[in-house]
Amino acid sequence: MTPASAYRPGREIARGGMGAVLDARDQKLGRSVAMKVMLRPNASAEEQQRFLQEARVLGQLAHPNIVPIHDLGTDERGRLFYTMKLVQGVTLHELLHKLKAGDRETLAKYPLPTLLTVFQKVCDAVAFAHSQGIIHRDLKPQNIMVGEFGEVLVMDWGLAKLLPGSTASAALTAPMPGTGPTGTLLMERGTPARSGDGPGGALGNATPMAAGARCGPEGRAPVDRETLPSAGEQATVVSTPDTAGGESGAVSTPLVFTGAETPPTPQLSGTQLTLDGTVMGTPNYMSPEQADGRVTDLDERSDVYSLGGVLYALLTLRPPVEGKDVSELLNQVLRGDIIPPTLATRGRPLPHLPDGAVPDALSAVAMKALALNRDARYRSAAELARDIAAYQGGFATAAERAGTLTQLRLFIRRHQGLSAAAAVMVLLTAFFISRLSSARDVAEANADRAERNADTAKRNEAKAKASEQEARQAAENLRRENARANINLADAALLAGDLPGMVAALERCPEDLRDQPWGYLNAKRDESLGELKVPGFGLPVAVAAVPGRPGEFALANAGGDIAFIASASGKLLRRFATGLRGYLQLGFSDDGSVLGVTSGNRRRVELFDAATGARRGAVELAGNSGLHFALNHDGARLVAITGTGKPAPLSMACQLYDTGTGRPQWAKACEGAFSSALIHPDGTRVLLAGNGNRRFWWLLDAADGTELARVPVFPVLQTLSRDGRRLAIGTPTGELVVVNPLTGAVLQRARLHTGQLAGAAWLGNLLLTLGTDGSFTQQRWVFRLWDGELLTPRGSFFGVKQGVFAPGWSASENGELLTSERPPHRWSFPVSREVATMFSEVSEQAWGGVFVASNAVVARKHFGLARYAVDQGRFTELPGTPAWDSFQLAASHPASGQFALARKIGDEPSEVKLYRGADGPLTEQAALTLPGRAHHLAFDRAGERLAVTHRDGTLEVFATRDGRSQFRLAGGYSQAVFGAGTNLFALEVRPGGNPPEHRLVRIDTIAGQPRGNSRSEVPLTSLAIAPDGALLAFGSTDRRVYVLRANDFSTGWVFRAHEADVGAVAFHPRLPVIATGSVDGSVKLWTYRDLRRPLATFLGLGGAPVTLSFNPAGTLLFVDGQERTSRVYEVAHLTVPAAKREP
């Protein structure tokens, strides 16, 4: 589309219920054009689509008597317009008004033959439109323009209808590139924003589509071609006269739309307004089928009726029906109460007619076209035009059904200059004419009947084809709706942990409708990374993660060999033999230095150096069998559960050994069963879990085995967090209890699975569990990730091999996991991947932070900000940093070494400070005083300007050199980013609606004024722009990310990204990659070259990310938000696929 700045609007020429026509100047070509502009500033998407359809219809109709369209675009305030040929002249309505008033000049210039020629041209235009499958539906004298030099143009095709199966229908309803059933386009292409300097660039208003709008075959909202805009919704276009030097490149004055009730040009009477709703057209000229709202009955003959009305007005200087209100008009139309023109003008001579009376032949033509029964009208506009041509040529019209004498009279009149001899010949042939006349009438009647039958058959065939097409379209719409419903059902099943339900719903979606959201869900069917094949260890008997060595695992085979492997690569790191056989049990010290191994129920635990495989000794266990053991943090002590050998009831003992001497330090025996025992990392506690007939968990003093506390629970497993602060105890009913392992106090308890709970492991601050969900007969194993403090869900992971018993597994602290299946299966849960973290004991929320250099960030410090170096896994505060205790927002321009800080909370007035010296000595270059607190900051691409959005919705731009305000805009702005050239893009929320209106606004930074906008039907939560300024990205509450081309707001990519609202987005500085953060506690990296799976995922955040910031090299990603921890991730090794063709 073209921006309105290419045109300078002038005076208003005409108006209707939906648009006004202006005299405008084409700045590029230096010509005058007519510009039609939408009147309503808040036009609905449907009204905008109708306006666009009118332009597209005109684009299909290349005919001398149909106004040609030149251009399509939006004005500076985002209102649609199109330009067309400007014809200097008057409407036929005005011309007839002048004839009625007796204007001598008009009477001399437009005698009846000239008026009939005008009418013939109108019929020619309408006939051409009909040949293309388009009917006008609002033909009337007001929509016919008569030029100064004889031009005749049919105007205002806003109510045009496309006939099913026609050429125009195929062209205008051709599917646009769309999405799958869930990928409704939020925004469509608007007008381009130029990246050059000056205010010439303009960004148009994109056509919004509601998230829940009905979708056509390609996922776009279809135009309802049967509903019209309200006639009562009028507006006035006030245009400013040309200023001096108007032919120069100066910016044209924007169109101002007001609610003025007195228009500058004459309006039609109330009974001649275009109707709204299912009754379409102008009552004075509409056909009975239109007046009755029978939309499906409308065809070419409906336009023929309106043409008859125009002819009637041309003859009588009045419409065919008149009344005091619309209801009376419609009733007359439906009854066919039309007085023939010859009678309507009797006793009232009209100056534009020969002898002041309507010729009988023309009266018959008009009444035939105005017949109540469609079948009695002319079959086509061309046939009507032929009758007018016959009259003009002196021949009888078909409508008057002329007799012999009439035919003879017309024949003589056509040949008034004949000689006497020729006259005699004429008299001699009169007899033959009379004889042939009756025969001709019979032949014509028969031909007419045959032609009508053929027409009826043709129309029936067309209706059948249209019905078939509509049925196919309805079936396709239903198919797409079903696909969308199934994807929604799959989504709900995923949230409920119902894998069979999710799979079944996905499988019901047709293959050709499986879009990105379908692929997003389908990828969750099996999130394992496949089998891990290590020669000699394809049938492992035990698997254990090596503590302190993320991603490293030990595998044991039945021959007693131990293999240490890196799970990510499958690389064998080392192996050694233990000399044991059978089913082995493995246990590491907490520091990973010592490996204990026992076999079956042996009473001996062998100890090995985990790094070399060297044997370090053994511990002989008391009792008749060893059932379980665990080492302390350095392997110096070992706790074991053994059988005592006493007869039933079952008796077991818990014993603590010194591994250096092999001697027990104490033993605790009981009648019952123990399931597991652990030694706390600080060495002061032993954590003992009971079993079915001893349903307790005990806390023992590691010095002597004294009971310190007990919790009544049925424990089947226990797992201790690596920091020793929390212990999770699982029960067979799916419940999990979290206790303080030093005091035994219960911290939290919840039922995490509806069925069994078979395993648990701490992954940093998150808890991973394996359990079953669903009914007893349909239980399926599933991994679930939980917030370690609140036990709220963070994700479900399907793909575990199903069976009665769960597979054994062990998880490394970096989220890597191996099962003891045969062969083992590898999993990766993307947690604890940070290269640096910083925990705040004071602040529970971060509002902003940013990389200011490759290894330096501005991040929170208590309730303020500080500069930190990120190195060797730590945040180290840089020296020379001022006290920024009252600042919470930050933005940076690393290329120039600048960064800005602002207050988001605290007292008002507030301030913004600008600094240079990102990771070295600091220089304060400006301090800006704000009337209120800031909400968002952004530098332009050159670092010369800073955009500040205020908490009250104001947007202000400052010069960074001296801190001066360049412009200030009031509104509901929340975020803003600079684009290329003079473009600034901002998110704006306009209250008042339900829900409020969310918009993307383009602002010209030279003029300091908005130049266009796109509306969104879903709330937009975050905004980012690509480094080259070509793309804009938005997060939204519908869990999707929208990527638009910044030059025209056209949709590039829309993709499902998360399980909850997307609250933060950021572009990678060098790669086609977008980082997204969500309320679901995850951060993901996506490439828009392949949106099937994220390139990387980071889980484990304690709250929603608020800020995402890449360092300038794109190797690190800073994340902070609604939690106590600031995090930095390493992202240097992203693998981005080769470029594909853009959509």
1086 phi, psi to nearest 5 deg: -125, 145
Q: Residue 428 and residue 435: Cα distance in Å, rounded?
A: 12
Q: Are strands 2-3 and 69-74 parallel, antiparallel or unpaired?
A: parallel
Q: Residue 598 and residue 628: Cα distance in Å, rounded?
A: 9
Radius of gyration of the chain (CA): 42
- 329 with 161: CB under 8 angstroms? no
Q: Residue 812 and residue 815: Cα distance in Å, rounded?
A: 6
Q: Residue 705 and residue 1022: Cα distance in Å, rounded?
A: 57
Q: How far is CA 631 from CA 57, 636, 656, in A?
A: 81, 7, 10
The sign one gets for the Cα dihedral 262, 263, 264, 267 is negative
Report the half-sphere exposure of 626 (CA within 13 A, side-chain side).
Answer: 26
The sign one gets for the Cα dihedral 507, 508, 511, 516 is negative
Q: Residue 338 and residue 323: Cα distance in Å, rounded?
A: 12
Query: CA angle at residue 117 from 318 to 64, to 5 degrees?
Result: 110
Closest CA to 715 of 742, 676, 763: 676
The sign one gets for the Cα dihedral 43, 45, 49, 52 is positive
- 1062 with 1041: CB under 8 angstroms? yes
Residues β-bridged to residue 913? 901, 927
Q: Residue 298 and residue 309: Cα distance in Å, rounded?
A: 16
Question: DSSP labels for 1033-1049?
Answer: EEEETTSEEEEEETTT-
Q: How far is CA 51 from CA 79, 128, 172, 174, in A?
A: 11, 22, 13, 17
Peptide bond into 909 cis (omega under 30): yes
Show Cβ contacts of residue 282 under 8 Å, excluding neighbours closer than 6 positions. 138, 140, 142, 272, 273, 274, 275
Catalytic residue among 71, 75, 138, 1120: 138
- 183 with 516: CB under 8 angstroms? yes
Show Cβ contacts of residue 279 under 8 Å, excluding neighbours closer than 6 positions. 286, 290, 291, 292, 293, 330
- 63 with 85: CB under 8 angstroms? no
- 162 with 949: CB under 8 angstroms? no
Q: What is the DSSP letter of 1116?
A: E
Sheet (strand 780-787) strand order: 757-763, 766-773, 780-787, 793-797
Task: Establish whether 138 is a catalytic residue.
Answer: yes
- 977 with 939: CB under 8 angstroms? no
Q: What is the DSSP letter of 349?
A: -
Q: How far is CA 634 from CA 79, 591, 631, 930, in A?
A: 73, 6, 8, 58
Q: What one-letter code names the amino acid at 856?
A: A
Peptide bond into 266 cis (omega under 30): no
At 558 the three-state DSSP class reads coil
455 phi, psi to nearest 5 deg: -65, -45
Q: What one-letter code names the amino acid at 50?
A: R
Q: Are strands 571-577 and 561-566 parallel, antiparallel or unpaired?
A: antiparallel
Q: Residue 466 and residue 772: Cα distance in Å, rounded?
A: 54
Residues tagged active-site: 138
